[in-house]
Structure 1
Amino acid sequence: MEVIRGRDCTVSVGINGAVSVFSGANQYDLSMPVLEVFGAEALRDTVITFRDTMKRHAAGINLLNVYPVPDGDTGTNMSRTLDAVVTELEGADHALEPTCEAISHGSLMGARGNSGVILSQILRGLVTTLRTTTPGSATKVAAALKAASVASYEAVLKPIEGTILTVVRETADAAQRAASDGATLAAMLHVARAAGRKALANTPEQLPVLKDAGVVDAGGAGFMLLMDAALHVVDGEPLPEPSEATGPSQEQLEAVSHRASLSGEVDVSELRYEVMFLLNIEDAKSKEFMQAWGKIGDSIVVVGGDGLYNCHVHTNDIGAAIEA
């Protein structure tokens, strides 16, 4: 049994996933009210807090970045993507529909790098559910997390477990189980985050390159800051301090490189160019476009809809990527 302590409750999660919630305050910062409904202001505050927290943690997340390419920019790209979202929010009305539209449009237009494009799809999946008129209950927020997970998998041509995709999926599944067991919004988020943290800690067991480097998945670590931000807004929980980890040693990075050379597969780090652009294309043809890119590159992520997509690929053939 796992015990998770929130401000006004203690949540126990049994080995079968069943959730029990017990009342009674724990040692917590009481400066903020506990929210029972996740509305427009909570969503706005969560995204802004997520951006601010990501900025503080970006350098540490960059150090974790060894997959798919050890270029140390995951935290930076997620931060820049969120900057674009917050800029869009600042010009939007505070009602739910324009707030959701600003998050969706800002993340699509401002996505940076592989991690930023996936984050864009996660945010777009979230607001697709949250923008409906029903109150933002635990059940609705859990459904939004599940929609985010489904959307993120659909955006990636070759989904790989042990990445942010796994962390989001495990978080969402735990959220839905907790909500179905009657957990409050805060309790559900605590359970979901605990599952996400467990999934993140397990990523090196799923993706050998992470184990070689002695790190967890960088994108997954970035996503968990969204859960931290949500719990700060909903339950008043203090935000985490940046990690003091130093990242992989030179010996570990050499082990990563050695594994790639032994696998016989194309090492993504050997694909010289990262190509990104916005593309107007019929929605029905987006999968065909992804398949065409699959023949010339890797780390392919295509997000969007309604005829406009943000596209990302690592390749050695820029011309073919543009002409696909």
Structure 2
Amino acid sequence: MTELLEIKGQQLLLAFKVGARDVIKKTEKLNAINVFPVADGDTGSNLASLMREVLAVQASESETVSVICNRIGEAALIGSRGNSGIIFAQYLNGFAQHMPEKLAITIDDFIKGAHGAVESAYQSINNPTEGTMLSVMRDFANAIVMSKKTQSSLSNIITQSIAAAEVSVNNTPNQLKLLKLNAVVDSGALGFYTFIEGMSNALTNPDMMSEENLTVEPQLRLQEVETHRFAEAPTYRYCSEALLSNVNLSATEVKAAISDLGDSLVVATSQNSARIHIHTNTPERFFHQIATFGTVVDQKVDDMLLQYQVKQERKHRIALVTDSIADLPAEFILEQQIQVLPMNLLIDETSHLDKLTITSDYFYQRDLTARVSSSQPSLRLIENRFAYLKSYYEEVIVVTVAEKLSGTFSVIKKVAEEMSTPTFKIVMIDSKQNAVGQGLVVLQIADWIAAGKTLSEIEKLAEPLVANTEIFVSVDTVDGMIQSGRLPGRLGPLAKRLNLKPMIGLKADGGGTIKGIALSTKGSEKQLLKKIARLHRKQPITRYAIVHGNDAVRAQRMAALAEQQLGFKPAFIEEISTVVAMSAGEGAVAIGTTQGEKEEGNN
């Protein structure tokens, strides 16, 4: 063992990297013993995400320990996921806050850092629980102080303290009944111990202090999937996380402002960033609130209830995936276990996840001068969702918004081609629709899946289904249509000046087109209903649905009139997708129709 009286900044970074590497290697074991606070089996994966960011940190010999540790803290914050990851990130940031502007630190500096780290870690969580990584962090810091009384070498002091930390890990079942019941130690506690043990080994063995020894196996796709595997239904439905920059609030202030929105609240902060984790039933309220704290630069929302239901009782052999532009009742989506990929909505510099971190209510309250745009689901999100589905299904059908309207079809198709195998088949269907029209296509395919039709049968049936589905949108204001380019050339300004009310539809290939123009809202509604009546006479409409842009009264009126003409009620009446509302505007009402022979189970 090498005698060590001080630690240089680069030495400390390399020691941290050795600890990070060791945690990554133990990912599966940490996942397997994860039972607290919930048995969701992801502590190892969450810590591995953080540790991979730590491995990527670089530093020079001329940089101080403070600079290097703050860089580590920022990296940890970016990579942190879940309770364990965010608590660990706060520990590293707390350590960094107590590091001096020196090229090397002494044992006294390390003690200040360790105790500051513990204090920060405890402050990151609303209700600190003993028998977790928090206990081991505290016992490790206290052991360093005790060891200093009998040892002078930093390496000897840390080695003795590691032994005390091991005792602390093994004691966690005595502190938490759930751990004793499952005959395991706390997963996060073992993860922390693994990290400091690796750090200690590196500091006392110079041969380990090399970047060449830090290689780890490439991360598998399935490990990237942040899956919650609960033993019982979660109290709150959505696991929500955000990374913020330009944050001037403390972790305590952030927690106080949002603690009423759910549970499992953890907040980690660095010099000007924050990572926040919460389980909530209202992710849109959570993200609306935290947007006042700083700039949201990264966000994630997992539907834990859907994950729980798929694991406990997968309803169908084929998985059905769509994007958030498809308008469908939320209860139907959950009941049929449909996977929805959220579109991205950018308002000025802030990104939102359609129907998750922003809803129509918040969208209509926005600053009307703000720049608004949308984009397809992220590549990482699509890859992760397919990797998750691969754990439970062998066949997947994806129904997207019209390829002519969005790049969503193309980007999902590219991922599908890369991830499809003989034992994991992914079929792509371009709905050539959006909003309620796309929702009707998904609804019918869900019926076919529930009826037990095969993948090839559904693929064949989908083509005439798409051809026989239409959408008509009665627009109350053309401002959104002009901004989004849906009204080409001079038509938009002319329609605005004359207060015209266009009726928008889609061509057979999914491209947008104007189906009619009226002088008033009621005139537009009459045109729409006449279109429906003509369609029904030509070929019976077997199913229809209505969506609206913050005008439920108008939607209900249109539903009553349509029912008089068709003789049956709409399949559903829903709020329109936020992304579609961006162009259709507030007050818009759309009717989607499907023609053809009536399928069993149709409304």
TM-score range, shorter chain: 0.7 to 0.9
Answer yes or no: is the 8 Å Cα contact 2:133–2:189 preserved in 1: yes
| Aligned: 1:290 with 2:226 | no
Answer yes or no: is the 8 Å Cα contact 2:9–2:103 preserved in 1: no
TM-score by length of 2: 0.41
- Stretch deviating more after TM superposition (166-175 or 36-45): 36-45
Report sequence identity in percent: 26
**Deviation by residue 1:71-96 (Cα, 9 ceiling, x = unmatched):** 11111111111111222x13x43423
Q: Which amino acid aligns with 2:60?
A: D
Distance 2:258 2:173 in 1: 28
In the alignment, what sits opposite 1:142?
111
| Aligned: 1:53 with 2:18 | no
In the alignment, what sits opposite 1:317?
282
| Aligned: 1:277 with 2:277 | no
Q: Which amino acid aligns with 1:229?
A: G
Judging by fraction of residues, say which structure has more helix. Answer: 1
Answer yes or no: is the 8 Å Cα contact 2:169–2:185 preserved in 1: yes
CA distance change for structure 1 residues 218 and 314 in 2, over 3 Å: closer, same or farther?
Answer: same
1:299 partner SS: strand
Q: Which amino acid aligns with 2:264?
A: S
| Aligned: 1:36 with 2:5 | yes
Answer yes or no: is the 8 Å Cα contact 1:62–1:74 preserved in 2: yes
In the alignment, what sits opposite 2:519?
none
**Deviation by residue 1:239-270 (Cα, 9 ceiling, x = unmatched):** 9xxxxxxxxxxxxxxxx96xx9xxxxxx8x43
Instruction: Give the Å deviation of 1:128.
Output: 2.3
Q: Which amino acid aligns with 2:47?
A: M
In the alignment, what sits opposite 1:93?
60
1:176 partner SS: helix
| Aligned: 1:227 with 2:192 | no
**Deviation by residue 1:263-283 (Cα, 9 ceiling, x = unmatched):** xxxx8x432221100235754
In the alignment, what sits opposite 2:367?
none
| Aligned: 1:152 with 2:117 | no
Instruction: Indicate which of 295, 299, 302 corresponds to 2:264.
Output: 299
Answer yes or no: is the 8 Å Cα contact 1:142–1:172 preserved in 2: yes
- Stretch deviating more after TM superposition (289-298 or 63-72): 289-298
Instruction: Give the Å deviation of 1:285.
Output: 6.3
Q: Pick 1 or 2: higher relative contact order, CA cutoff 8 A, min separation 6.
A: 1
Answer yes or no: is the 8 Å Cα contact 1:175–1:192 preserved in 2: yes
Distance 1:196 1:218 in 2: 14
Distance 1:307 1:98 in 2: 14
Distance 1:126 1:227 in 2: 13
**Deviation by residue 1:45-103 (Cα, 9 ceiling, x = unmatched):** 1121112111111111111111112111111111111111222x13x434234422320
Instruction: Give the Å deviation of 1:238.
Output: 10
Distance 1:236 1:60 in 2: 26
Q: Which runs of 4+ in 1 moved over 4 A?
A: none
Answer yes or no: is the 8 Å Cα contact 1:272–1:316 preserved in 2: yes
Answer yes or no: is the 8 Å Cα contact 2:46–2:84 preserved in 1: yes
Q: Any unmatched runs of 5+ in structure 1?
A: 1-6, 8-32, 240-255, 261-266
Q: Any unmatched runs of 5+ in structure 2?
A: 209-229, 290-603
**Deviation by residue 1:99-151 (Cα, 9 ceiling, x = unmatched):** 22320211122212211111111111222223432842222222211111111
Answer yes or no: is the 8 Å Cα contact 1:38–1:141 preserved in 2: no
- Stretch deviating more after TM superposition (311-320 or 283-292): 283-292
Q: RMSD of aligned C-alpha atoms? A: 2.5
TM-score by length of 1: 0.75
CA distance change for structure 1 residues 54 and 201 in 2, over 3 Å: closer, same or farther?
Answer: same
Distance 1:170 1:223 in 2: 12
Q: Which amino acid aligns with 2:185?
A: V
Map 1:124-143; keep pairs closer than 5 Å. 124-133=93-102, 135-143=104-112
The number of residues matched between the two structures is: 266
Answer yes or no: is the 8 Å Cα contact 2:250–2:269 preserved in 1: no
Q: Which amino acid aligns with 1:308?
A: S
Distance 1:157 1:219 in 2: 17
In the alignment, what sits opposite 1:84?
53
